[in-house]
Amino acid sequence: MSDLNHHWQKVYRDKSPDQVSWFQAAPQPSLDLITKQRANLGGLEFIDVGAGASTLVDSLLDLGLASATLLDISAEALAVSRARLEAQGHQDLGYLVQDISQWQPDRAFDIWHDRAVFHFMVTPEAQAGYRRALMAGTRPGSLIVLATFALDGPEKCSGLPVQRWGLDSLQAFLGEGFHALESQNHLHSTPGGVEQKFQFSVFERQRESKPRTSGNTHEQGLVLEIS
Ligand SMILES: C[S@@+](CC[C@H](N)C(=O)[O-])C[C@H]1O[C@@H](n2cnc3c(N)ncnc32)[C@H](O)[C@@H]1O
């Protein structure tokens, strides 16, 4: 077991899902951002990368999502989600215990969601591995929601260093094959009452193979909101 795997297994063994700093009673703004872009979820394949014990997938299944895969480096975290979802009658979801920076997807998803996982990729190798997984795990037209600590957000999460991101740096990291649709700042209150600045960024993988003519990421359709 790697140190990273050990760290996250211990987190989910030692704490209940509502005691971790990233706990949300309601999975927002992820839920609104996804349903705003994809009103009809039926027939779409969804993956939550570093899903932990998040209930985002429960809400999406309630709204008509039929297929979902939860990936996490911690089997403990996925066991929590699996028990909860099976108790609701969802027996046929996918669960993958994987390090996202090493994962090699064998199929592509229509919606890729990541809240507070990509920001743990602090080395060029881990970031390149994440991007490789993203490229193999999405297709033209896929929606990508990435929530990271904002540029002025915390420097650590769960005791581990993070890299903070803004829309421009994310766009530069992803490259021209991804079109920014929306970006939203979000203030998260931890169960301990600490406020953390997040940035939620929504991209669509380019449908056409032609490169975009403008390098300006602040063009058409981009909405900046503070909540
Ligand atoms: C801060 S928590 C966020 C959990 C969940 N996305 C949420 O919003 O509640 C980060 C999650 O990412 C997982 N994780 C951390 N590093 C990972 C990696 N390299 N690959 C896959 N999962 C990872 C952790 O086990 C943990 O569940």
Classify residue 63: in a domain, yes or no.
yes
Report whether residue 101 contacts ligand 1, using a CB cutoff of 6 Å: yes
Which residue's alpha carbon is nearest to atom 4 within ligand 1?
A: 52
Percent of the chain at pLDDT exceeding 90: 90
Give the model's confidence band at 176: pLDDT under 50 very low, under 70 low, under 90 confident, else very high. very high
Cα 15 to the chain's mean position, in Å? 21
Classify residue 213: in a domain, yes or no.
no
Cα–Cα distance, 45 to 29 (Å, whole number): 20
Number of domains in the chain: 1
**Averaged over 1-19, what is the pLDDT?**
94
Residue 149 pLDDT exceeds 80: yes
Classify residue 216: in a domain, yes or no.
no
The range of the structural domain enclosing residue 131 comes to: 3-17+26-208+222-226
Classify residue 148: in a domain, yes or no.
yes
Report whether residue 22 contacts ligand 1, using a CB cutoff of 6 Å: yes
Cα–Cα distance, 52 to 73 (Å, whole number): 9
Report whether residue 52 contacts ligand 1, using a CB cutoff of 6 Å: yes
Classify residue 136: in a domain, yes or no.
yes
Which of these, 115, 173, 160, 124, lies nearest to 10 by C-alpha position? 160
Q: Are 212 and 184 in contact (CB under 8 A)?
A: no
Max distance between CA atoms of the chain, in angstroms, equals 51
Give me the CATH number covering residue 50.
3.40.50.150
pLDDT, tens digit, for every residue of 60-105? 999 999 999 999 999 999 999 999 999 999 999 999 999 999 999 9
Classify residue 157: in a domain, yes or no.
yes
Cα 210 to ligand 1 centroid, rounded to whole Å? 34
Residue 5 pLDDT exceeds 90: yes
Write the DSSP assignment of 145-183 as a string of letters.
EEEEE-TTS-SEETTEE-----HHHHHHHH-TTEEEEEE
Classify residue 142: in a domain, yes or no.
yes
Classify residue 72: in a domain, yes or no.
yes
Residue 213 pLDDT exceeds 80: no
Report whether residue 69 contacts ligand 1, using a CB cutoff of 6 Å: no
Residue 214 pLDDT exceeds 60: no
pLDDT, tens digit, for every residue of 21-38? 999 999 999 999 999 999
